[in-house]
A and B are shown apart, each in its own frame.
Chain A
Amino acid sequence: MLRIDKLTKDFGGLRAVNDCSFEVPEGMIFGLIGPNGSGKTTVFNLITGFLLPTSGRVSYRDQELTGLPPYMIAQHGIARTFQLVRVFRRMTVMENLLIAPQHQAGENLLLGMLQVPRVRRQEREAIKRAMKLLAVMGMEGLTDEYCGNLSYAEQKMVELARALMTDPDLVLLDEPTSGINPSLINQILDYIRKLRDEQGKTFLVVEHDMRVIMNLCDRIAVLNYGEKIAEGTPDEVSNAPEVIDAYLGV
């Protein structure tokens, strides 16, 4: 589904990502791990168009994504969250979620100002979907709260819900569980699995917590100094000597 082909990114003299290739098959939860500074987030930014690769290609369902601006890549059905949470702070939780759906008639200046029936209908549908997502996260009571007033964990979940509101086929999650309390983590992981199982969504996950990644992911690629040093199932990866060397055998 998503193919990363010989991706390289230089920042001045620093090679952040080096000749990195892997493929994420449809319907899979794919993990990307590696020590700090190993280039995971850079790979995310290269896939989503926030950075341009020095060389190499990114393609999605046989369509070239390399060089497209972020909004066009998102329009292909690829949503993402950010490592450092980026919610709209002076907007409510509900507004954060309602901004996300694609093809909103109300984003047309005139249709939006006139609030034609189609706009109101879409708005109602979007609110229903948003409420369902918020229920999963136990946040139904916070719809009208400014996001800037929420805790870090709550903001993180708003961001996840906002990404899901775009109804993506592929979701890129950058450390989705960091800073979230353990009982809620399981709830979120269950929900991610459910989305994969019931709606066939695909996930690419960067994560630091090894228990999370081992228990969530079907397949894992390991980065070290921008290079892919291993790829396989959680068991294969955790037994690979180069991985233990670089990462696990601290």
Chain B
Amino acid sequence: MFSELSLVVHLLVIITIYGILAIALNLIMGVTGLFNIGHAAFYGIGAYTSALLAKAGVPWFYAMLVGVFLAGFIAFVIGIPTLRLVGDYLAVVTLGLGEIARAVFKNWLSLTRGPMGLPGIPHASLLGVKFDTAEKFLLLGAISLLLVYIIAERLLHSPFGRVLKGIREDEAAVQALGKSTYRFKMWALVIGSGMAGLAGSLFAHYITFIDPSSFVMWLTFFIFLIIMLGGPGNNLGAIVATVVFVSLREGLRFVSLPEWLNPAALQQLLFGVLLIIVTIFMPRGLIPEHKITYRGHPGHAEN
């Protein structure tokens, strides 16, 4: 049994990992408006790649990097045909990718051991520090989350991020301003998926065991719910909502339920209803998208 303190630490570690997933999907969906249903697949690709390489003796940092790049590369390959088109082709293809990835994790027995999962994944270590307890790993998770948050924020507040928001609002109008929206959409998808790959690597080397059940589409919807609640386009909102939902989800495990009630089904039902309520009554989320203001900017004052 966990002691109470280590339970809290474990919860915080999971929050850092899901926080990265949320910021990543926020970049793709909340900021750029791309409907990506395959987020869990990129998370899984990062996890399996990193775990398999580390088990083969590659140091964690490099195994993680390969996982990040592979997730980003697969996003790139998927983006080539789908991002040229206007409409929800990306949604259909990423839906397919999610299922393909799950099938590969489950059925490529010689590589992934399928449903039996991959045990004995080495703990993450970096610069001589071995992150072999939850407390130590929390440091690694927090640093990673902070890094991802800073990158996402810098991006959002740059002229590059402005174009991403424009694509979400009206892609054709952005094209009429002389911008190749394809290039911008591709970067958003690749960076967001690479971040999901990082989260996957962290997860694999924290739990030290992975199996296909951690990378199912339900996870994508869970992260989607987090973004909707937090406020699409707001990275801080994504983190706050991650804290709320991960705590709620883990907390539900400790509620004693009547025998006929399946806890997993209850959780899905509850979150489904929540998603509907949030979408209808709080479409901009807990913390609406940050408004970038220019009053007081040097260029503004000179007139």
Q: Looking at the complex, which one of B165, B178, B181 makes contact with A88 (CB distance below 8 Å)? A: B165
B135 interface contact, C-beta 8 A: no
A108 contact set on B, CB distance < 8 A: 160
CA distance A160 to B159 in the complex (A): 20
Given known contacts A71-B181, A74-B177, is B162 in contact with A95 (CB within 8 Å)? yes
Given known contacts A88-B170, A99-B177, is B155 in contact with A109 (CB within 8 Å)? yes
Q: Do A86 and B170 have beta carbons less than 8 Å apart?
A: yes
The chain A residue sitting closest to B168, CB to CB, is A90
Bitwise, A36-66 to B at CB < 8 A (1) or not (0) is 0000000000001010000000000000000
CB distance from B227 to the nearest CB of A (A): 15
Q: Looking at the complex, which one of A48, A94, A146 makes contact with B294 (CB distance below 8 Å)? A: A94
The chain A residue sitting closest to B167, CB to CB, is A88
Bitwise, B238-261 to A at CB < 8 A (1) or not (0) is 000000000000000000000000
Q: Do A75 and B178 have beta carbons less than 8 Å apart?
A: yes
B174 interface contact, C-beta 8 A: yes
Q: Do A124 and B299 have beta carbons less than 8 Å apart?
A: yes
The chain A residue sitting closest to B299, CB to CB, is A127
B170 contact set on A, CB distance < 8 A: 86-88
Which of A112-120, A178-186, A225-233 is found at the contact surface with chain B?
A112-120
A131 contact set on B, CB distance < 8 A: 299-300, 302-303
The chain A residue sitting closest to B187, CB to CB, is A109
The B interface is mostly helix, strand or loop, or mixed, namely helix
B165, B169, B297, most chain A CB atoms within 10 A: B169
Q: Do A91 and B165 have beta carbons less than 8 Å apart?
A: yes
B175 interface contact, C-beta 8 A: yes
B291 contact set on A, CB distance < 8 A: 92, 144, 146
Count chain B residues whose beta carbon lies closer than 8 angstroms to a beta carbon of A.
39
Q: Looking at the complex, which one of B169, B184, B298, B300 makes contact with A89 (CB distance below 8 Å)? A: B169
Q: Do B299 and A91 have beta carbons less than 8 Å apart?
A: no
B1 interface contact, C-beta 8 A: no
For window 77-109 of chain A, which residues contact chain B by CB distance below 8 Å?
A: 79-80, 82, 86-92, 94-95, 98-100, 102, 104-109
The chain B residue sitting closest to A146, CB to CB, is B291
Q: Do B175 and A90 have beta carbons less than 8 Å apart?
A: no
27 A–B contacts, CB within 8 A, in A order: A70-B176, A71-B175, A71-B177, A71-B178, A71-B179, A82-B176, A94-B294, A95-B162, A98-B162, A99-B174, A102-B178, A106-B160, A107-B160, A109-B160, A112-B155, A112-B158, A112-B161, A113-B154, A113-B155, A119-B159, A127-B298, A131-B299, A131-B303, A143-B294, A144-B291, A144-B293, A163-B176
Using A88-B165, A113-B160, A119-B159 as known contacts, list a sample of 10 further A-B pairs with CB atoms less than 8 Å apart, ordered by residue number in A. A50-B172, A80-B176, A87-B170, A88-B170, A89-B169, A90-B289, A94-B300, A108-B160, A127-B300, A144-B293
6 closest A-B pairs by beta carbon, nearest first, are: A127-B299, A106-B159, A112-B158, A74-B178, A88-B169, A124-B299
